[in-house]
């Protein structure tokens, strides 16, 4: 019987079932960074339209923006913005009829307190309503020695697991920069762009017994869009890692849950291969940001005078109906939905929603 889940933010066993369903049926879900209700609603709209479930995520900067940039206490704004986004998502995902994996994106060493506070907010939420706020949180200690990386994950994972929250961790380095985290692709040691299967096995051995993990393994992927020729993807690294863990622990095919960072601008053949090797989540940020901007740009271009004068300079007609922010923000949303339609198609998730 095919999987059916209640629409809304998934967590605990429902999260695990949803991920397993993606892998078994060889498709992945796009993970889209949002920074406000405009981008968030556009993601839900696109998911509903494509009859797909979806992954929504907030970077630390996105969470702060959600709360408002004027708040003086940046840490508190990052926590409360993420809580606000979680409440909006939980309420609206049900209404749009889709299952949402809600995640926070890259958190390096100095952002661990942010993740800890969000786990604490989820624990409070469980006491009040029975459900956590987030499906998963990412820790990215990939620029530290692997021992330190794994120790930090071991520290937080049992508490997350108890609250029904999964951990996404990174091995190797995703090139490029995102929200102040990551490194310039020219400066990263090339070997670090390609995770070793032995490192993946070490992470699996130490972490999988403590909770639910997914792994962002580097296979040459980079954040952002670069000119062709700068990026050499090697998804066979994922295949070799799956095979090593499968063999060592005598498990079924594709035991690891892999995450693909830096999905913007990727070649469809590489995407297909990555999905075959157990990727259930592909991050798309750069391309959807650009799509939102293009939608607004086309509208402004078409109505230049309304963005300069409240009354039309020749006809005197009020331009209020044109410069109303709802008009041009909606154009950004629609353009973002168009780009997301492509992502759902590329990842094979169209029509695969498990929301009942
Ligand atoms: Zn990333």
Residue 290 has pLDDT above 80, yes or no: yes
Instruction: Give the CATH number for residue 152.
Output: 3.20.20.70
Question: In this structure, is residue 356 part of a structural domain?
Answer: no
Q: Which domain holds residue 44?
A: 8-347
Q: What percent of the chain shows pLDDT beyond 70?
A: 94
Catalytic one of 53, 105, 257, 287: 105
Question: Is 1 domain-assigned?
Answer: no
pLDDT at position 190: 65
Give every CB contact of residue 210 below 8 A, 6+ residues apart in sequence: 154, 157, 158, 161
Residue 19: exposure state from Cβ atoms within 10 A (0-12, 13-18, ≥19): buried
pLDDT at residue 189 tops 70: no
Mean pLDDT of 181-192: 60
Indicate whether 355 belongs to any domain. no
Distance between Cα 223 and ligand 1 center (Å): 6
Give distance in angstroms: CA of 282 to centre of ligand 1.
Answer: 9
> pLDDT value at position 144?
94
Q: pLDDT tens across 39-55, in order?
A: 999 999 999 999 999 99
Q: What pLDDT sits at residue 192? A: 74
pLDDT tens column, 269-286: 999 999 999 999 999 999
Tell me whether residue 104 is in a domain.
yes
Q: What is the pLDDT of residue 328?
A: 98
Cα of 236 to ligand 1 centre, how many Å?
A: 20
In this predicted structure, the answer to whether residue 224 has a pLDDT above a threshold of 80 is no
Return the pLDDT at 194: 87
Q: Which residues of 314-339 are buried (b: 16+ CB within 10 A; e: fewer)?
A: eeeeebeebbeeeebbbbbbbbbbeb
Distance 168 CA to ligand 1 centre (A): 11
> Is residue 228 included in any domain, yes or no?
yes
Cα(126) to ligand 1 centroid in Å equals: 28
Between 110 and 172, residue with greater pLDDT: 110
Whether 105 is catalytic: yes
Q: What is the pLDDT of residue 228?
A: 65
Burial of 210 (0-12, 13-18, 19+ CB in 10 A): middle
Q: Is residue 330 part of a domain?
A: yes
Strand, coil or helix: what is 162? helix
| 287 inside domain | yes
pTM of the entire predicted model: 0.94
- For 189, other C-beta atoms within 10 Å of its C-beta total 8
Number of domains into which the chain is organized:
1
Q: What share of the chain is helix, strand, coil (3-state, %, to 5)?
A: 50, 15, 35
Q: Give the distance (Å) from ligand 1 centre to CA of residue 323.
A: 35
Residue 128 included in any domain: yes
Going by C-alpha positions, the residue among 8, 5, 121 that lies closest to residue 56 is 8
């Amino acid at each position: 019987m095919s999987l059916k889940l209640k629409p809304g933010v998934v967590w605990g066993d429902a999260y695990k079932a949803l991920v397993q369903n993606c892998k078994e049926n060889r498709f992945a879900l796009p993970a889209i960074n949002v920074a406000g209700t405009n981008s968030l609603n556009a993601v839900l709209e696109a998911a509903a339209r494509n009859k797909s479930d979806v992954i929504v995520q907030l970077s630390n900067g996105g969470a702060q923006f959600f709360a408002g940039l004027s708040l003086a206490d940046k840490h508190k704004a990052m926590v409360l913005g993420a809580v606000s986004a979680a409440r909006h998502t939980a309420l609206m995902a049900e209404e749009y009829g889709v299952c949402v994996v809600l995640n926070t994106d890259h958190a390096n060493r100095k952002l661990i307190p942010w993740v800890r506070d969000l786990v604490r907010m989820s624990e409070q939420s469980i006491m009040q309503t029975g459900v956590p706020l987030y499906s998963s949180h990412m820790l990215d200690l990939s620029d530290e020695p692997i021992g330190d990386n794994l120790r930090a994950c071991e520290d937080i994972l049992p508490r997350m697991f108890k609250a029904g929250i999964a951990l996404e961790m990174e091995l190797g380095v995703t090139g490029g920069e995102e929200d102040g985290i990551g490194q310039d692709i020219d400066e990263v040691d090339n070997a670090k762009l390609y995770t070793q299967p032995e490192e993946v096995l070490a992470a699996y051995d130490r972490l999988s017994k403590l909770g639910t993990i997914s792994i962002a393994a580097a296979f040459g992927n980079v954040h952002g869009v670069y000119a062709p020729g700068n990026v050499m993807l090697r998804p066979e690294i994922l295949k070799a890692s799956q095979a090593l863990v499968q063999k060592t622990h005598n498990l079924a095919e594709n035991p690891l849950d892999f995450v693909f960072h830096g999905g913007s601008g990727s070649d469809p053949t590489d995407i297909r291969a990555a999905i075959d090797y157990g990727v259930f989540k592909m991050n798309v940020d750069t391309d959807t940001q650009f799509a939102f901007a293009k939608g607004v740009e086309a509208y402004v271009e078409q109505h230049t005078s309304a963005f300069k004068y409240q009354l039309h300079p020749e006809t005197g007609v009020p331009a209020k109906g044109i410069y109303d922010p709802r008009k041009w923000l909606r154009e950004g949303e629609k353009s973002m939905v168009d780009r997301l339609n492509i992502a759902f198609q590329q990842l094979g998730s169209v029509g695969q929603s498990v929301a009942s």
